[in-house]
């Protein structure tokens, strides 16, 4: 009975599946177990995409979507890059400025949604288009043909290429496979998880998501919570954008253009409801890792980008149908009981 209960937890099943896939790909091609070329980049990308997945999760919690998540990341990287290049700020100062830009964008998006009462989907979609033009335009106007800010502040390569092995407590050093990028990701995971499970704010967000009317009637400032969710989303997207830029090594308009699908895959696979009201913070990390293992595993097998896309699209559609099938079974069971 207890055994069954453990397996009912989506996260346990997902973790086991991810490990099984990892071992499967490793057995097919032992190059997959290579620490420097596979595992380290895998975890580094996983850390970045987890943060962006969390950005999506924050708005999913109130039943909204953020289609501009990638472009908010791009703006944050743009602001940070410009501050390094033109104002000569240090790594941390620029990063703070970038994250603030993300938060500001989230606030603007939330404000438009609350004031115009237009579906979040449409507002963020239009936001995405507008930002796409703006970001490219700024890069091209300021840097001409290169279309990138290339100034690297001191310490940027540290986050990009160092692992916990360089981080020692006395004689004990961390494992070489764990990238430094995991640190901000874990930090975000803990904060978001704490907010949703332990604070009043998190509970108010979730009740806004599960039933807007009920939340309003029980005295939750629903409009403020919509704003809050979008500000959190913008902030996390900003952090994700910086992580993407540091990994990339330069600040370009292409940053964040590939994250829309992964930002949904992580939370949805982890068990976050698209309709709002339920989040899976740790599940986002596990879901993200699973998609990355599939992606990386297939590419180590020598399978091209084309098939990767097909596989990831199928995973998303399957993950969505699984929820539907479960619902169907539950309703059949309930009918049987009646």
Partner 1 sequence: MKLPIFFKNRMTEFSLSVIFVIGFLALVLTSNGVFLSRASLQGFLTYLAVPIAIGLAQMVVLCIGQMNLAVGTMGGVSCAIMAVLMADHNLPIWLAIFIGLFSATAMGAINGALVVLTQLNGFIITLGTYTILLGFQYRLVKTFTIDKYPSSLPEFGKRNILGFPYILVVAIITAILLSLFFSRTIIGRRVLATGGNPLAARLSGVSNNRSIFIAHTLSGLLIGVASVITIASLPGINRSIGGDWLLASFAAPIIGGVLMSGGTIAIYGTVIAAGVVRLVDIARAQYSLDPSIVSLSVGVVTLSTVALSEWRRRRTERQNEGMKELI
x/- track of binding to partner 1 for residues 12-51 (CB under 8 A)? ----------------------------------------
Least Å from the CB of residue 309 to partner 1: 3
Least Å from the CB of residue 74 to partner 1: 12
144 binds partner 1 (CB under 8 A): no
Q: Dig out the tokens for 226 from the structure.
A: 């919509």
332 binds partner 1 (CB under 8 A): no
Listed residue (52, 103, 64, 15) closest to 261, CA to CA: 52
Provide the strand spans (E) within the chain. Answer: 148-149, 168-169, 172-173, 251-252
Pairing mode, strands 168-169 and 172-173 = antiparallel
Listed residue (97, 91, 96) closest to 154, CA to CA: 91
Least Å from the CB of residue 53 to partner 1: 15
321 binds partner 1 (CB under 8 A): yes
The footprint of partner 1 on this chain (CB under 8 A) covers a number of residues equal to 44
Of 1, 2, 306, 338, the one binding partner 1 (CB under 8 A) is 306
x/- track of binding to partner 1 for residues 97-126 (CB under 8 A)? ---------------x---xxxx-xxx-xx
CA end-to-end distance (rounded Å), the chain:
24
Q: Name residue 173's beta-bridge partners.
A: 168
User: Mind spelling out the 3-state secondary structure of 215-266?
Assistant: HHHCCCCHHHHHHHHHHHHHHHHHHHHHHHHHHHCCEECCCCCCCHHHHHHH
Task: With beta carbons less than 8 A apart as the criterion, state whether 283 and 14 touch.
Answer: yes
140 binds partner 1 (CB under 8 A): yes
261 binds partner 1 (CB under 8 A): yes
Q: Which of residues 132 and 183 has its CB atom nearest to partner 1 in the complex?
A: 132
Least Å from the CB of residue 259 to partner 1: 13
Least Å from the CB of residue 79 to partner 1: 17
Least Å from the CB of residue 136 to partner 1: 4
Task: With beta carbons less than 8 A apart as the criterion, state whether 211 and 111 touch.
Answer: no
Residues forming contacts to partner 1 in the complex (CB under 8 A) are 65, 112, 116-119, 121-123, 125-137, 140-141, 260-261, 264, 274, 304-314, 316-317, 320-321, 324
């Amino acid at each position: 009975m207890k055994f069954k209960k453990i397996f009912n937890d989506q996260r346990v099943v997902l973790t086991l599946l991810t490990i099984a896939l990892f071992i499967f790909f490793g057995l097919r091609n032992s190059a997959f177990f290579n620490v420097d070329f596979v595992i380290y980049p895998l975890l580094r990308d996983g850390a970045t995409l987890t943060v962006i997945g969390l950005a999506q999760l924050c708005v999913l919690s109130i039943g909204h979507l953020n289609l501009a998540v990638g472009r908010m990341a791009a703006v944050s990287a743009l602001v940070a890059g410009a501050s390094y290049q033109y104002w000569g700020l240090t790594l941390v100062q620029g990063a703070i400025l970038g994250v603030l830009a993300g938060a500001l964008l989230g606030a603007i998006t939330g404000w438009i949604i609350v004031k115009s009462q237009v579906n979040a989907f449409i507002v963020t979609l239009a936001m995405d288009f507008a930002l796409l033009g703006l970001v490219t335009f700024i890069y091209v106007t300021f840097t001409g043909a290169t279309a990138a800010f290339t100034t690297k502040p001191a310490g940027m390569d540290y986050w990009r290429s160092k692992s916990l092995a360089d981080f020692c407590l006395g004689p004990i050093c961390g494992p070489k496979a764990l990238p430094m990028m995991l640190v901000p990701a874990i930090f975000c995971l803990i904060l978001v998880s704490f907010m949703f499970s332990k604070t009043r704010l998190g509970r108010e967000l979730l009740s806004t998501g599960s039933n807007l009317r009920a939340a309003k009637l029980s005295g939750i400032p629903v409009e403020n919570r919509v704003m809050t969710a979008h500000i959190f989303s913008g902030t996390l997207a900003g952090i994700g954008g910086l992580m993407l830029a540091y990994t990339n090594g330069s600040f370009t308009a292409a940053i964040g253009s590939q994250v829309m699908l992964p930002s949904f895959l992580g939370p949805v696979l982890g068990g976050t409801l698209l309709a709002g009201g339920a989040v899976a913070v740790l599940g986002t990390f596990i879901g993200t890792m699973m998609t990355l293992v599939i992606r990386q595993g297939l590419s180590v097998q020598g399978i091209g980008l084309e098939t990767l896309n097909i596989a990831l699209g199928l995973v998303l559609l399957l993950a969505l149908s699984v929820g539907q099938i479960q619902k169907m079974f539950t309703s059949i069971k309930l009918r049987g009981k009646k």
